[in-house]
Amino acid sequence: MSARQDALIRYPGHDLLLPDIVRAENCHLFDSQGRRYVDLESGVWCATVGHGHPRVLRALTEQAARIAHNGYCYGTAVVEEAARELLALTGFDGGKCVLLCSGSEAVEHGVRTAQAAVSRPLLMTMADSYFGAYGSASRRQADEWFSFDWTPCAACPFAGECDQGCQHWSAIPFDRIGGFLFEPGSSSGLVRFPPDKLIRNLVATIRRDGGLVLVNEVTTGFGRTGRWFGHQHYGFAPDVVATGKSLGNGYPVSAALYAPGVHERLGGKPVRYAQSHQNDPLGAAVAREVVRVIADEDLIARGAAAGTRILAGLEAIRAGVGRIAQIRARGPMIAVELDDTPGAALTTRFHRELVGCGYITGRRPGLPVLRIDPALTIEDADIEGFLATFAAVLADA
Ligand SMILES: Cc1ncc(COP(=O)(O)O)c(C=O)c1O
């Protein structure tokens, strides 16, 4: 290993804690000294079937040896197959799919398509959600986006459905809104879930006027919330699903998926989204295998059980040790909010100490929240080891 680690531009606020990772296997990372770390963050919530899953690895290497990439005018069967399997999984048989590289791109494709397909180009979204690093979704310009702060709705005092009698609801300019881009849990990484009633009413109202409902499943997809997709907790069928992260299990592939009829609303007007790695055979082979692995190995149920076990352990720590203000969770997507001072010094130190003890959790700079998003394949021994360490380190912190 090079002694210096200063050639790379790194994302600010994230100090380099382990500069010498050489290998990964399922939930474990190993450094050059052979030290093992349990990765409860799955990279950036991506390695959902475990690092280096043998089947995904085989699909990747075999496809790379055959053909990794081709031009726009040439097709490879695996790409069409992956698209069909993803469409079937989202309940969009007969719909359309495009494979891209990142979650940001999948969301962007969905947004551009929706804006071209509807007559009212304003899209609604939740003020605290995150959709990507670039493109219109990251800019959130006022002429393109209506941002809604759902915080008051979390403690809605009214029993009935949302209506004009509510000051928050009546402030939504439905007559100008052509679509709703919904992140069904997470909210800028903090694991927050907008309330059912609000979402049910928004979906119905936007649909009634011909609007489209897009869900951003980049983080919540493929078992992260204990179901295949986060929107399934809300009981509606979306028009567009954007996926990424877990779909590639660490390989950069994403997909924007369209229900039958949505693409047709473009009336033949193409969405001009040219990108070199669009519908690449290599990404398609990986995505197809990841989805098959999740189904074959019953990983949605396994991940949900792991989430339940971790949550119960954390609740016990909260009761016994304290220092935890709140735990928010859905399946194996968990946030632990610590009782911390502004600036989150305790959380930063605690996060480092956990790494020192061999446990990697997720952290957002300056916020008192640790994220726990393990692979769906995490072993019970790793969960027990983590909980015991978490309790001991927290008690000492
Ligand atoms: C909810 C959500 N949407 C979209 C993205 C963008 O995905 P990517 O970083 O793969 O572009 C992220 C990334 O963290 C995310 O958390």
Query: Looking at ligand 1, which atom is closest to the CA of residue 252?
Result: 10
The three-state (H, E, C) secondary structure of 169-183, written as one string: HHCCCHHHEEEEEEC
Half-sphere exposure of 90 (CA within 13 A, CB side): 29
User: Where is average pLDDT lowest: 174-188, 216-230, 375-389?
Assistant: 174-188
Evaluate whether 211 touches 180 at the Cβ level (below 8 Å).
yes
> From the CB of 386, is ligand 1 less than 6 Å away?
no
> From the CB of 251, is ligand 1 less than 6 Å away?
no
Mean pLDDT, rounded, of the chain: 96
- CATH pick for 21-53+298-396 out of 3.90.1150.10, 3.40.190.80, 3.40.50.970, 3.30.450.40: 3.90.1150.10
- CATH 3.90.1150.10 positions along the chain are 21-53+298-396
Q: Measured between alpha carbons, how far is 341 from 267 in angstroms, rounded to an integer?
A: 55
Please compute Rg for the chain using Cα positions: 21
79-131: pLDDT as tens digits: 999 999 999 999 999 999 999 999 999 999 999 999 999 999 899 999 999 99
Query: Looking at ligand 1, which atom is closest to the CA of residue 254?
Result: 10
265-312: pLDDT as tens digits: 999 988 999 999 999 999 999 999 999 999 999 999 999 999 999 999
Residue whose CA is closest, atom 13 of ligand 1?
A: 132
Band of residue 189 on the pLDDT scale cut at 50, 70, 90? confident
pLDDT at residue 252 above 80?
yes
Q: Which of 140, 214, 218 to mutate to test the pocket of ligand 1 (most atoms within 8 A of CB)?
A: 218
Band of residue 3 on the pLDDT scale cut at 50, 70, 90? low
User: Where is average pLDDT lowest: 8-12, 213-217, 233-237?
Assistant: 8-12
12-23: pLDDT as tens digits: 889 899 999 999
Whether the model pTM is above 0.85:
yes
> From the CB of 218, is ligand 1 less than 6 Å away?
yes
Quote the pLDDT of residue 121.
82
Mean pLDDT score, 56-76: 97
Evaluate whether 375 touches 26 at the Cβ level (below 8 Å).
yes
Evaluate whether 18 touches 364 at the Cβ level (below 8 Å).
no
Mean pLDDT score, 31-50: 97
Query: CA separation (Å) from 349 to 82, 259, 356?
Result: 43, 46, 10
Mean pLDDT score, 55-71: 98
Evaluate whether 216 touches 182 at the Cβ level (below 8 Å).
yes
Q: At what angle do helices 54-66 and 281-296 cross, to 10 degrees?
A: 160
Q: What are phi and psi of 231, to 5 degrees?
A: -70, -20
- CATH 3.40.640.10 positions along the chain are 54-296
> How wide is the angle at C-alpha 173 spanned by C-alphas 172 and 177, nearest 5°?
110
Mean pLDDT score, 153-166: 95
| 84 alpha carbon – ligand 1 mean position (Å) | 23
| 47 alpha carbon – ligand 1 mean position (Å) | 14
> From the CB of 103, is ligand 1 less than 6 Å away?
yes
Band of residue 136 on the pLDDT scale cut at 50, 70, 90? confident
Q: In sequence order, which residues have a C-beta less than 8 Å from that of residue 28 and are 6 or more positions away?
A: 36, 37, 38, 39, 51, 382
DSSP one-letter string for 147-210: EE--HHHHT---SS---TTSHHHHTS-GGGEEEEEE--S-TTTT-----HHHHHHHHHHHHHTT
> From the CB of 104, is ligand 1 less than 6 Å away?
yes
> From the CB of 252, is ligand 1 less than 6 Å away?
no
Evaluate whether 50 touches 29 at the Cβ level (below 8 Å).
no
Mean pLDDT score, 32-59: 98
Q: Measured between alpha carbons, how far is 322 from 304 in angstroms, rounded to an integer?
A: 25
pLDDT at residue 185 above 70?
yes
Question: Looking at the domain 54-296, which fold is it?
Answer: Aspartate Aminotransferase; domain 2 (3.40.640)
Which residues are bridge partners to 24 per DSSP? Answer: 29
Mean pLDDT score, 250-262: 98
> From the CB of 130, is ligand 1 less than 6 Å away?
yes
